[in-house]
Structure 1
Amino acid sequence: MTDKISVNCRSMLTEAITRMSKMFEDKHFVVVSLRPGKDRTLDQNRLWFAMYKRIAEMTQIGEPEDARRYCKLHFGVQILLNEDAGFQADWYQVMRPLTYERKLSLMGGCNLFGPDGMPVTSLFNRSQGIQYTDRIVSYFTGQGVYFSDLLSQEAA
């Protein structure tokens, strides 16, 4: 049982202390790690989901979840194939033989990988996350989708 809490206001600080106290009462041992800073993955995920929504609104791709699946398969998998030999070996052995439609479906919620689908973006480091964003922007800008407002909010 691992909990991760980003404390960015007094109420979250109170929640963190309350959860830690409850865990201590229940288990009598608690390991706590603290570090200053903002959790970049939350901001990055928020940006990506806004981008998926925009793609769904401005293209014929379908719903935001369809855009997410598409981006994970077309951009995220390619980044990991290029940069992670272990991912590449497993992908070629397990996923490559599957049909495109099956690969695409596994990128979203499914019984095998759970509600988030096959882990792709969750495996990214910071640099890979930036590449992913850049590839989405580059491809879908060519399809008439604009992201400048979302990206300027991210920079703020």
Structure 2
Amino acid sequence: MTAKISVNSQAKLTEAITSLTAMFQAKRYVVVSLRPGKDRTLDQNALWFSMYQRISQMTQIGDVDEARKYCKLHVGVQILLNEDEDFRASWHRTMRHLSYEEKLDLMGGNALFGPDGFPVTRLFNRAQGIAYTDRIAAEFSSKGVVFTDLLGDLAA
């Protein structure tokens, strides 16, 4: 049994402690991982998909999957390299030696990392997700891609 609980209230804290206690009593061994911050949201996922669609429609980058792979490699990986020491060490140990084409290919679905490809955006916290959105918008707006209709709600 695996559980993930976001604690953002006293009631959720109580729920987390109760679940941890029950799991410990049942199994006598429990692995716990904690980190501060909020998870990225489903709204961010939907926004990113819309941005990838727009990029694929308004540039020569390719289809939606190609736009997603490009953004993950060029924008997302850079965010994690700058902000996550563990990610940076792992990236340099396992990915740095690969060619650009190999890295780009691994960002999409593959046998090694599954249908979502190399983990980048799923590792983001909420702030990193916001930075990812902002950086994609900045890079591609300068190339003529229009996101104002997609990002309007976020700016308000």
Q: TM range, normalised to the smaller chain?
A: 0.7 to 0.9
Identity fraction in percent: 67
Deviation string 1:55-114 (CA, Å, 9 cap, x unpaired) is 000000010110000000000000000000000001001000000000000000000000
Q: Deviation of residue 41 (structure 1)?
A: 1.6
Q: Is the 8 A contact 1:69 1:104 kept in 2?
A: yes
Closer, same or farther: CA 155–60 of 1 in aligned 2, 3 Å: same
Within-5 A mapping of 1:17-56? 41-56=41-56
Superposed counterparts of 1:141-152, under 5 Å: 141-152=141-152
Q: Secondary structure at the match of 2:144?
A: coil
Structure 1 pair 146–87 and aligned structure 2 pair: CA distance change class (3 A): same
Instruction: Kindly state the Cα deviation for residue 152 of structure 1 after the two structures are TM-superposed.
Output: 1.4
Q: How many residues align?
A: 122
Quickly say closer, same or farther: Cα 1:128–1:95, change in 2 above 3 A. same
**Which residue of structure 1 lines up, in the alignment, with residue 71 of structure 2?**
71
Is the CA contact (8 Å cut-off) linking 2:40 and 2:125 kept in structure 1? no
* Counterpart in the other structure of 1:21: none
**Gap regions ≥5 residues in structure 1:** 5-38
Contact 1:47 1:154 in 2 (8 A): no
Q: Tell me by how many angstroms 1:153 deviates.
A: 3.8
1:73/1:107 contact within 8 Å kept: yes
Amino acid at match of 1:76: G
1:90 matched to 2:90:
yes
Contact 1:53 1:64 in 2 (8 A): yes
Residue 107 of structure 1 corresponds to 107
Q: Structure 1: which 4+ aligned runs deviate by more than 6 Å?
A: none
Please list every run of 5 or more consecutive structure 2 residues that lacks an aligned counterpart in the other structure: 5-38
3-state SS of the aligned residue for 2:41? Answer: helix
Indicate if the aligned counterparts of 1:55 and 1:61 stay in contact, CA closer than 8 A: yes
Q: Report the Cα distance in structure 1 between the residues aligned to 2:113 and 2:3, rounded to whole angstroms.
A: 21
C-alpha contact 1:43 1:154 (8 A) present in aligned 2 = no
Whole-angstrom distance in 2 between the partners of 1:73 and 1:40? 18
Return closer, same or farther for 1:101/1:148 CA change in 2, 3 Å cut-off. same
Greater RCO, CA 8 A, separation 6+: 2
**Deviation per CA, 1:25-44, whole angstroms, max 9, x where unpaired?**
xxxxxxxxxxxxxx852100
Structure 2 distance, partners of 1:63, 1:154, is: 25
